[in-house]
Amino acid sequence: MEAIRAEGLTKQFKDVLAVDQVSFVVKEGEIFGFLGPNGAGKSTTIRMLATLTLPTKGTAYVNGKDVVKESDEVRKSIGLVSEKMILYDRLTAYENLRLFGNLYHLPSKRLNEKIEEFLKLVDMWRWKDHRVETFSTGMKQRVNVIRALLHSPKVLFLDEPTLGLDPQTTRAIREFILKVNDMGTTVILTTHIMSEADAVCQEIGIIDHGKIVALDTPRNLKKNIKSDDVEIIEVEFITLFTDMLNTLQNTHGIDKVIQLDANNLRLHLKKDFGLRSLMKVLSPWSDGIRALNTLEPTLEDVFIKLTGHEMRDQASKKAKKSFAGAGAHRF
Ligand SMILES: Nc1ncnc2c1ncn2[C@@H]1O[C@H](COP(=O)(O)OP(=O)(O)OP(=O)(O)O)[C@@H](O)[C@H]1O
Ligand SMILES: [Mg+2]
């Protein structure tokens, strides 16, 4: 069964084409990630699927129902965690969840059990009788995600659920999403954090300027760029010289030069160019080079290869892998 089918979904805001002919399918039980930079059209796509805004063109079905013609049906079968937090500050965590649960007319006992189960899962049970206004953003978001799940929606939409949260909450929310998915909920989440998409999603749609540029499993996306004859190298410098940077940028055989920080560059080499040629190019500055590592491609590399630009994210350093057991090449 399909949980979502979008066909040519398009949204035009006056002179901004926010979403441009987006088509994709999410199978029931999947975690699907929408990955893209700021302004790519992620939230607008989610808003159309969640019936909060009408498509300009195209159609979409959620749980087999048309988001325009059967919007009431769609709404009943989805949960939404949007960029805005929907909780009453003056009420406790428990009171908030009771209140939202009552809107769905859930039997009282069942609702209480559910609230307890979920609050325990996100490690918030001991805070249940505290007012939301005393919570950190991370604690509020844990309750906010539960709020969207009380009516057991078949599909859960999460728009940047971990944006700006501390690492501990981010982890807790990720684990919770995985558990909820295990219980049978299909999850669609948007993010611009590559490592998040990589860690939780079975299928990823990369979106840039309103268009889907790739649609596949994280594993295949990364595998494809490897077989596309790209080699990823990170170079660590003691000092990064401008003339060296210029030389690298103008070397035929180096597709991309990404400056990670003051001392690190990430390079996309054409495979036939190779490490040996790179070392030759770098030889005038060899005293300033600390290490050179070949790395496994990350989704960041996939994004850059597909769009020609960076997503501006620090996550790419994660996949660092030392060169062939012997450690890094040292000059
Ligand atoms: N209500 C609106 N009126 C006009 N333009 C809008 C509206 N909502 C979004 N846009 C524009 O549509 C484009 C896509 O926005 P959207 O919010 O969908 O992107 P996003 O991928 O969610 O970005 P972010 O990562 O910043 O949340 C942007 O150029 C945005 O300025
Ligand atoms: Mg958004």
Q: Say which CATH number the domain at 247 has.
A: 3.30.70.100
Q: How far is the CA of 258 from the centre of ligand 1 (A)?
A: 26
Query: Are 203 and 252 found together in one domain?
Result: no
Look at residue 34 and tell me whether its pLDDT is greater than 90: yes
Closest residue by CA, ligand 1 atom 4: 13
**Mean confidence (pLDDT) of the chain:** 89
The rounded percent of the chain whose pLDDT value lies above 70 is 93
Q: The whole model's pTM is what?
A: 0.86
User: Which of 46-55, 127-136, 183-192, 322-331 shows the lowest mean pLDDT across its residues?
Assistant: 322-331
* pLDDT, position 183: 94
The atom number, within ligand 1, closest to the CA of 11 reads: 12
Task: Check: CB of residue 211 under 8 Å from CB of residue 245.
Answer: no
Check residue 310 and give its pLDDT.
79
Same domain, 91 and 151: yes
Ligand 1: list residues with CB < 6 Å: 13, 16, 18, 36, 38-44, 192
239 and 152 together in one domain = no
Pick the last residue of a domain from 193, 216, 239: 216
Mutate-to-test residue for ligand 1 from 10, 11, 16, 158, highest number of ligand atoms within 8 A of CB = 16
Do 183 and 45 lie in one domain? The reply is yes
Instruction: Please tell me the distance from the alpha carbon of residue 62 to that of residue 324, in angstroms, as a whole number.
Output: 47
Examine residue 53 and state whether it is found in any structural domain, yes or no.
Answer: yes
Domain of residue 69: give its range: 2-216
**Which tokens hold the place of 149?**
């799940």
Region of 99 on the Ramachandran plot (φ > 0 left; ψ -120 to 50 alpha; else beta): alpha
The pLDDT of 271-276, averaged and rounded, is: 84
User: Does residue 271 contact residue 230 with C-beta atoms inside 8 Å?
Assistant: yes
219 Cα: distance to centroid of ligand 2 (angstroms): 25
Whether residue 230 sits in one domain with residue 207: no
Q: Which of 200, 216, 232 is the last residue of a domain?
A: 216
pLDDT at 37 over 50: yes
Do 285 and 172 fall into the same domain?
Answer: no
Q: Which helix (H) or strand (E) holds 232?
A: strand 230-237
Same-domain status, 259 and 204: no
pLDDT for res 312 = 65
Q: Is the pLDDT of residue 271 over 90?
A: no
Residue-wise pLDDT for 152-189, tens only, equals 999 999 999 998 899 999 999 999 999 999 999 999 99
Q: Is residue 329 situated within a structural domain?
A: no
Q: Ligand 1 centre from 80 Cα, in Å? A: 17
Q: Is residue 314 one of the residues assigned to a domain?
A: yes
- Work out how many domains the chain is built from and give that number: 2
Residues 20 and 110 in one domain: yes
- Residue 209 Cα to ligand 1 midpoint, Å, equals 10
Residue nearest to atom 6 of ligand 1 (CA): 13
Judge whether residue 255 has pLDDT over 70. yes
Q: How confident is the model at residue 306 (pLDDT cuts 50, 70, 90)?
A: confident
Q: Show the tokens assigned to 274.
A: 């190779």
User: Which of 157, 182, 216 represents a domain boundary (last residue)?
Assistant: 216
> What is the CATH classification number for the domain harbouring 99?
3.40.50.300
Residue 324 located in a structural domain: no
Q: Which of 43, 207, 312 to mutate to test the pocket of ligand 1 (most atoms within 8 A of CB)?
A: 43
Closest residue to atom 27 of ligand 1, CA basis: 38
DSSP letters spanning 86-132? ---TTSBHHHHHHHHHHHTT--HHHHHHHHHHHHHHTT-GGGTTSBG
b (16+ CB within 10 A) / e for 100-111: bbeeeebeeeeb
